[in-house]
Amino acid sequence: MTVKIFFPTCCTAAESGLLIGRWISEHRSAVVLATLHFPFIPGQVKQYLARLQQSTGLSLSILGTWNHKKAEKDEKMQSFLDELSSIFSHRPWLQISREASSKFLDCSVGRCDGGDQEEVVLVYYDERKLMLSELHSVTENSEIVSVFATAAKSRPLFATHKYDEGPIKLTHWQSDGVEASIIVELVKQASVPVCTVLLFLASLLTSICNLRVLSGKPLSFLWNKLSTFEQLGKRLENIRLVSSSERAKDHKEFMRKANTVVSILLDMALGILLMSLLYRENRISQLADALMPVADRVAVELQGLLQWLMGAPAGLKMNRALDEVLGRFFMYHIHLWISYIRLMSPFIEVILWYIGLSACLGLSVALSILSDIIALLTFHIYCFYVYGARLYCFKMHGLSSLWRLFRGKKWNVLRQRVDSCSYDLDQLFLGTLLFTILLFLLPTTALYYLVFTLLRLLVVLVQGVIHLIVDLLNTFPLYAMVLRLCRSYRLAAGVKFRMLEQKTGKPLRLLMQINPLPYSGVLQSYMLPSNQCYPKDSWGSLCRKLFIGELIYPWRQKGNKQD
């Protein structure tokens, strides 16, 4: 039989005394947590252990004795430690001491059930790293999980150390000083009123947004379609989450709050940096002056494109009458748009000045406003796309329906299938006439639809890049990534063992080290929930919609639930 003893490296230099820890019977393992020094009263030690068992929920006990001095030089101390086994009855009873001519420890196991000689495996581990780390991707009932849980749940044991005045003096990972900082404590004290104020402001804004006047039909429709309101709602939820007075229930919830706080701080820092760049050297005025020539340039290019389509584009033979009607119709929309831009030109600088102030709310809010501005400035392109897509879709559905007429088929609306049908001569003649008209008009319509669809996809691509950046700012677990980079042991994927020494007649010495969680695992485990509510179509579905002329909306449609 083999007995595994997990011994903390911080106790290798401790003074002689008793070993406090936990015996895991199902795995025949002993986890040493601390060393109790002389002098002590056995009755007080038993009372102390009983209080620890109530507070931690672990069956902590005296596992054995620890002799710091060389066994061959101090026989009295060794005999005294052997006598303690009659006071603290534990099976098995460990006797660990430093070897006389080696830096390693010697260990013997006594009073075990059964007469077989026990083989001892001595595993050194870093108690601090084990207690602060969070283990991932390991079976719940494994031995390693039990060791990690023992170190994590034994925090009340680490509240007392050898420098405290009292009947109990212990050596553990905090014996050289409790890790704390005055700045951290001040931040903790100041966070309480700050969170209270933030929670009050979030509740006030939520109550204002829930007013019946603001939740009416026109405003609610705009709020659902504009990216700015979606991002503000996301940040409002984040503020409500981090300012909650409830403590995190588990590690996942704590990491979510920490990642959210860091995400908000980074977003606001980048937004303030952007705001300082915009308001320096009168860049707002320069941007407003450059915006009008760009709008005029886009309008001129669109007019040139329409004139090219109204001629013989790429040498194609177009339907002259339909080409003239469509070209003049779209040209009229461009003239309306130019008039609208001219009307808004005196107010552009003021609008940009106030939009620049919104960057103090975060870079994501500024990018959302930029996405909405692009949508408003390219609204005429969206109108062109809708007109062309509707006309093209109407012709495609007409051609498919008339094609079924020639084959003696029809679409059964009730059963949602194609059934056989017999048509008379008049129906076939009318169908042939309509099919010929739609077929010869299709190239002209398809060309306009193709050009305006490409323009629309270009605008959607730019907005998609902006939305990806905003979503990255909202969901990227920066705190977890920094924690993985600076303190990789805090996020553990498992452990590895390195052999230190193996001699005949001596216990096997191993060093247990923590395997950090890979960066991909950090992203998978701690990625914040996204508010991305756009339809996730496959490439095949997208190509099918483009071919038959269905509209492709860059926002959530009715019936599409958010993941």
Give buried/exposed letters for 521-530 (b at 16+ CB in 10 A, else e).
ebeebbebee
Confidence band (pLDDT; 50, 70, 90) for 373?
A: confident
| pLDDT number for residue 561 | 42
Instruction: Please give the pLDDT value at position 266.
Output: 92
DSSP label at residue 530: P
C-alpha neighbours within 13 Å on the C-beta side of residue 345: 15
Q: What is the pLDDT of residue 218?
A: 60
Burial of 214 (0-12, 13-18, 19+ CB in 10 A): exposed
The reported pLDDT for the residue numbered 536 is: 59
Report the largest interatomic distance among the alpha carbons of the chain, rounded to a whole angstrom: 120
**Could you tell me which residues are beta bridge partners of residue 93?**
110
Band of residue 72 on the pLDDT scale cut at 50, 70, 90: very low
Query: What value does the mean pLDDT take over residues 428-451?
Result: 84
Q: Are the C-beta atoms of 306 and 380 separated by less than 8 Å?
A: no
For residue 428 the two structure tokens come to 């076939």
Cβ atoms of 131 and 517 closer than 8 Å: no
- Give the H/E segment covering residue 446: helix 425-475
Q: CA torsion sign, 471 to 475 to 478 to 484? A: negative
pLDDT at 167: 77
User: Residue 282 pLDDT more than 50?
Assistant: yes
- The predicted-structure confidence for 246-277, as pLDDT tens digits, reads as follows 777 788 888 888 898 889 889 989 988 988 88
In what helix (H) or strand (E) does residue 441 lie, and over which residues does it extend? helix 425-475
Going by C-alpha positions, the residue among 305, 292, 199, 295 that lies closest to residue 242 is 199
Please state, in angstroms and rounded to a whole number, the distance separating the CA atoms of residues 228 and 368: 5
Selection from 280, 295, 271 nearest residue 348 by Cα = 295
| pLDDT tier for residue 559 given thresholds of 50, 70 and 90 | very low
pLDDT attached to residue 481: 92
Give dist(CA 65, CA 484) in Å, integer.
37
User: What is the pLDDT, as a whole number, of residue 230?
Assistant: 83
Nearest-CA neighbor of 360 among 460, 274, 282, 469? 274
- Report which residue type is found at 85: S
Over the range 49-76, which residues count as b (16 or more CB within 10 Å of their CB) and which as e?
beebeeebebebbbbbbbbbeeeeebee
- Position 477 scores a pLDDT of 92
Residue ranges per structural domain of the chain: 2-171, 182-268, 278-483+528-533
Pairing between β-strand 17-24 and β-strand 60-67 as defined by DSSP bridges: antiparallel
Give me the pLDDT at residue 144, please. 86
For the record, the structure tokens of 258 come out as 């920490």
- Is residue 19 a contact partner of residue 96, using CB atoms and an 8 Å limit? yes
Higher pLDDT, 5 or 355: 5
Is the pLDDT reported for residue 307 higher than 70?
yes
Q: Tell me what the mean pLDDT of segment 330-349 comes to.
A: 82
Helix 227-242 vs helix 251-278: angle between axes, to the nearest 10 degrees? Answer: 130
Q: What does the pLDDT look like over 74-132, one tens digit per residue?
A: 566 666 666 676 777 777 888 888 766 666 777 777 755 555 567 888 888 888 888 88
Residue type, 422: S
Say which residues have a Cβ less than 8 Å from residue 502's Cβ, sequence separation at least 6. 508, 509
- Please tell me the least confidently modeled range out of 15-24, 118-127, 239-248, 304-313: 239-248
Q: What SS3 class is residue 537?
A: coil
Q: Is the dihedral of CA 241, 244, 246, 247 positive or negative?
A: positive
Instruction: Calculate mean pLDDT across residues 203-207.
Output: 69
Residue found under tokens 């969680």: 517
* Phi and psi angles of residue 123, each rounded to the nearest 5 degrees, phi first: -110, 120
pLDDT in tens, 27-36: 888 888 988 8
In this structure, are residues 30 and 24 in contact, taking their beta carbons and an 8 Å threshold?
yes
- Give 517's DSSP letter: P
Average per-residue pLDDT in the chain? Answer: 79
pLDDT average, residue stretch 201-209: 68
Percentage, residues of the chain above pLDDT 70: 82
**Token pair 């005025």 is at which residue?**
285
DSSP3 helix / strand / coil % (the chain, rounded to 5): 60, 15, 25
Task: Please enumerate in sequence order all residues whose Cβ is within 8 A of that of 514, keeping only pairs 6 or more positions apart, or say none.
Answer: 126, 129, 130, 133, 488, 489, 492, 494, 495
Predicted confidence (pLDDT) at residue 191 exceeds the cutoff of 80: no
Work out the average pLDDT over 340-349: 81
d(CA 159, CA 72): 35
DSSP code for 117: P
- In the chain, the amino acid numbered 561 is K
| pLDDT of residue 421 exceeding 80 | no
Closest by CA position to 64, among listed 105, 107, 25, 126: 107
Q: Is 371 exposed, middle or buried (0-12, 13-18, 19+ CB in 10 A)?
A: buried
Q: What is the β-pairing status of strands 93-98 and 105-110?
A: antiparallel
Which two structure tokens, joined as six digits, stand for 398?
């007409």
pLDDT exceeds 70 at position 501: yes
CB 420 within 8 A of CB 409: yes
Percent of the chain exceeding pLDDT 90 equals 3
Handedness of CA 105, 106, 111, 117 (dihedral sign): positive
C-alpha gyration radius of the chain: 37
Higher-confidence residue of 553 and 20: namely: 20
pLDDT at 471 over 80: yes
| CA nearest to 295, candidates 256, 263, 330, 343 | 343
Whether pLDDT at 563 is above 60: no
Contact by Cβ (8 Å): 237, 529: no
pLDDT tens profile 514-524 = 889 899 989 98
Per-residue pLDDT tens digits for 236-246 = 888 888 777 77
